Chains A and B, each alone.
Chain A
Amino acid sequence: MLFRPNPSSGVPIYLQLMEQVKHGIETGALRPGEQLPGIRPLAEELVINPNTVAKAYRELEHEGVIELRHGAGAFVSGQAREKKLTDRLRAGQTIVAAAVERLHARGVTDEEIRRLFEAELAGLSRSGGERG
């Protein structure tokens, strides 16, 4: 599993890490029960603040994506939750795919679609609903 946050993107690094863990689970790169790198080694490898890694792990645990076992480290949550998460994401992916197809049909480019999504998400995040 490869984590690659971009510190200067303007998006909080802990959110980027959270997304990358979820994406890893979605793609199967991370399996239920699998252990995630420890906070120290990951901070050192990515050269980012250990508090940032700890925050990402705490939030992921809060969302039920991973489990923090005292002294043992962080593990991807068990099958049931993982499946639920995957189903939800798969449903979302279908919706996104349809939307992207319609936008393409109208001649909207990939880059424009990306900007539209970002604008929409940035717009939503202000209402404070979906931020951990």
Chain B
Amino acid sequence: MSERLDLPVTEWRRVSSKYVIVDVIGYVIFALMVLIPAGLVSYWIGFEWMWAATISLAIIFLLTIVFTPRRVRSIGYALRDDDLLFRRGILFQRFVAIPYGRMQLVDINRGPIARALGLSELKFVTAAAASGVTIPGLPEADAEELRDTLVALAETRRGGL
């Protein structure tokens, strides 16, 4: 096993640990939506392979949920001089660097669970759909401050398309 990817960035800012709760609840709801119908169908039809499929799905969901705290800890961002760095993922690692001047708009979204916990999600949109940087689990005040910082930084570095 080779080493994990890392960048020489001294300080990654992490997202709020409360985001683990949001993510877990989201996964539990999704898992129930999939597993309950799958379980009922298996019960009625009663093929063994159906039970096997349902149980393996349940194990996958369980593992995903168990690893949620680790996954949330892997999300990080850093404001460098001229660009925004973002990272996430443990098994599939992803790093993105976006120059501030490339910003087209910044979105702040709040889902019902995240709102109850006072968290927001910040989405940084460029002209490329693939850039897709979404920083979840930011405390509301931080998200708004980060948005204003990003807009101000983008304004000073505005260029062509």
Query: Do A and B actually bind?
Result: no
Q: Which residues in A have some Cβ–Cβ distance to B below 8 Å?
A: none
Q: Which residues in B have some Cβ–Cβ distance to A below 8 Å?
A: none
